[in-house]
């Protein structure tokens, strides 16, 4: 919980600039996974003041961005996320609906998909273009 909120491995001078307890994520319960050795379900709560209102990006990078690279864990999986109604009301939603997107693309009657070409970095422009071409050739809209 601390790793994804206010925690650091060492005391830093900036700790004194705010009330860390106000923003600290808290693990309020840990349960062993039935039938699995050394596997647990951790229940973590975060104060709403930790998050920027109306920002999905801020919410998810705060909760999962850093902790999924935490070397002290062999594996981690987010199984459930509950967002208080007061926080969901801060999201305005998209500026327009799916119909506008379909009209722009002239694509109807099938799902619209997006993807990130992997690797994200390191491809030449030519090879990046080749990867995009293959996605489009395969029918990706």
Which pLDDT does position 84 carry in this prediction?
92
Looking only at the bridges linking them, the beta strands covering 26-32 and 40-45 are antiparallel
Cα–Cα distances (Å) from 84 to 20, 26, 38, 57, 64, in that order, read 22, 16, 31, 17, 18
Sequential DSSP letters for 26-55? EEEEEEEPTT-TT-EEEEEE--GGGS-TT-
Q: Read off the pLDDT of residues 26-69 as tens digits, 9 standing for 90 and up.
A: 889 999 999 999 899 989 898 888 889 999 888 888 887 766 66
Domains annotated on the chain, with CATH:
2-89 (3.30.70.150), 98-138 (no CATH)
> Residues in the chain, how many?
141
CA distance 80 to 84: 13
Q: Read off the pLDDT of residues 93-122 as tens digits, 9 standing for 90 and up.
A: 878 888 998 999 998 988 887 778 888 778
Which pLDDT does position 29 carry in this prediction?
93
pLDDT of 85 > 90? The answer is: yes
């Amino acid at each position: 919980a601390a790793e994804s909120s206010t925690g650091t491995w060492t005391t830093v001078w900036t700790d004194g600039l705010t009330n860390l307890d106000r923003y600290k994520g808290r693990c309020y319960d840990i349960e062993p996974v039935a039938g699995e050795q050394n596997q647990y379900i951790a229940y973590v709560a975060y104060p709403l003041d930790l998050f920027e209102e109306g920002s999905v990006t801020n919410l998810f990078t705060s909760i999962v961005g850093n902790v999924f690279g935490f070397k002290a864990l062999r594996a981690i999986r987010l199984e459930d996320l509950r967002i208080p109604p007061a926080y969901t009301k801060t999201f305005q939603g998209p500026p327009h609906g799916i119909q506008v997107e379909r009209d722009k693309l002239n694509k109807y009657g099938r799902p619209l998909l997006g993807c990130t070409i992997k690797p994200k970095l390191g491809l030449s422009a030519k090879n990046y273009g080749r990867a995009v071409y293959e996605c489009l050739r395969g029918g990706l809209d």
